[in-house]
Amino acid sequence: MTKQPTSRTCFLCGRDNDNGLKMVWYNNKEQNQVEANVTIPEHFNGYPGITHGGIVAAILDETSGRAAMLNGDFDNLFITLRLNITYRKPTPTDIPLKVIGWIEKKGRRKMEVAAKILLPDKTICAECQAVVMEPTGEIADCWENEKKYWYVE
């Protein structure tokens, strides 16, 4: 599996973000999916022992969007236009979880992508379908300054 790059300040993957999750994703070309493992600390709970739904949404959003980099083009970044989440059961804190993302439909500038969060027994906690597109204008311009911090460690 090929490791994907991380940034310096992102909440999910930022190497220099002491408050973030420091997640790392891998391209699993054999399965045509992107994968990550994460244990969500208790301080990200909504209720004791249960991850806040906004944190779950952020993990699904990032993982589904990172599927756009399955081809190995790590500058192929996308922004989310639509994110539909189904919460199937509470996502626990302090338990190792697996997150998987994939492409459902690929267009020239837009993609339909999806992701899910799995318990160790492979039970789905939450899943999403999303539409992502290449960033343009101001978003693309501000990314140019950050590109030097986007790399594989």
- Select from 51, 48, 49, 46 the least CA-distant residue to 99: 51
Asked if residue 152 is part of any domain, the answer here is no
Distance CA 38, CA 32 (A): 20
Asked if residue 26 is part of any domain, the answer here is yes
How much is the pLDDT for 150?
Answer: 87
List the structure tokens of 3: 């490791």
Query: pLDDT digits over 108-153, tens only?
Result: 889 999 999 999 999 999 999 999 998 888 887 888 788 888 889 8
In sequence order, the β-bridge partners of residue 116 are 100, 127
How much is the pLDDT for 79?
Answer: 93
Strands (E), 18-71: 25-28, 33-39, 45-47, 50-51
Domain coverage including residue 134:
2-145
The CATH number linked to 49 is 3.10.129.10
How much is the pLDDT for 123?
Answer: 98
Asked if residue 117 is part of any domain, the answer here is yes
Buried b (16+ CB within 10 A) or exposed e, 2-23: eebbbbeebbbbbeebeebbeb
Mean pLDDT, range 83-88, rounded to an integer: 98
Main-chain phi, psi angles of 143, to 5 degrees: -70, -30
In sequence order, the β-bridge partners of residue 131 are 82, 112
Main-chain phi, psi angles of 129, to 5 degrees: -125, 140
- 110 contacts: CB under 8 Å, gap ≥ 6: 81, 131, 132, 133, 134
Q: What's the total number of domains in the chain?
A: 1
Cβ atoms of residues 150 and 5 within 8 Å:
yes
Query: pLDDT digits over 34-85, tens only?
Result: 999 999 999 999 999 999 999 999 999 999 999 999 988 887 788 999 999 9
